[in-house]
Amino acid sequence: MKNILVTGASGQLGACFKKISKNYSEFNFVFKSSSEADITNKPKLEKLFSEIKFDWVINCAAYTNVEKAESEEEKTFKINATGAKNLAEVCNENRATLVHFSTDYVFDGKAEKPYMETDKTNPINVYGASKLRGEQLIAEVLKEHFIFRTSWLYSEFEHNFYKTILRKIEENAELNITTSQTGTPTNANDLAEFVLEIISSESKDFGLYHFSNLGEATWYDFAKAILEFTGNSEDIVLNKSNSFKTIAARPEYSVLDKGKVEQQFSKQVLHWKLSLEKLIKA
């Protein structure tokens, strides 16, 4: 039986893996929160690996607060870059395969068509820069890795845009949502399911991939779809806004091209609206 370590297990993506793991009885999952397995502390990681021989590591530990990252650059890089390197080194020492997640924010948003894995990166905020550095350090240290860039993650767990809109609906609040950014909402459950399918297949097609749901949307489009699928489109006032004041710069266009992942793994990726509807009506 393969042993799979999931770091950052108390976060949104970690919670999705925990939910789906019950469908994979052939694996022994070990879920560790960031406090239980601090990826910035290499000696503690080495101790954990000395206790259990892990075949795979799924790294859900990350600093994801894009706004706070601008004023906490050192902490952000310590987790997203140095922490990623620590995991890669420990995986290399123990012959484990690492699955790591990155972001559409490694791009500057000036493209006019979906970004491919081979396109030039140029992050415009600290968060994006730290995640890009993490990618680079993993690639330098460990051959047996999968890095998945994803975008606009949401689910029924933790804090995310989807949960915020649901809360606003309960409060009967008027919504002013930006149209100034275009990307792809991605159901974190779909990403978790895809990763476990890859592990089940024992794939050795290591490398960098883009994975998000299909299609593209603005945050306004995303909010509108949530209202529609929850039956609240006539009850909640939804306004378009072309201004969204933030501390961190955001790419205006960050849709990811999924061609490589679809071809390499014969994967049929769901459109973001279909996946959203599936989650709401589950």
Catalytic residues: 127
Tokens of 42: 């290499």
Q: Which of 54, 62, 56, 48 is nearest to 13 (CA)?
A: 62
Instruction: Provide the CA 83 distance to its chain's centre, in angstroms.
Output: 16
Q: Among all chains, which residue has been given the structure tokens 């706004």?
A: 67
Measuring CA to CA, how many Å separate 103 from each of 79, 114, 118, 228? 15, 14, 14, 28
Backbone angles phi and psi of 232, in degrees to 5: -115, 10
Element (H, E) at 138: helix 126-141
Q: How many helices (H) and strands (E) does the chain have?
A: 11, 12
CA distance 95 to 89: 10
CA atoms within 13 A on the CB side of 179: 7
Q: Which of 128, 170, 172 is nearest to 149 (CA)?
A: 128
Let me know if 229 is exposed, middle or buried by CB neighbors in 10 A (0-12, 13-18, 19+).
middle
Check: CB of residue 249 under 8 Å from CB of residue 128. Answer: no
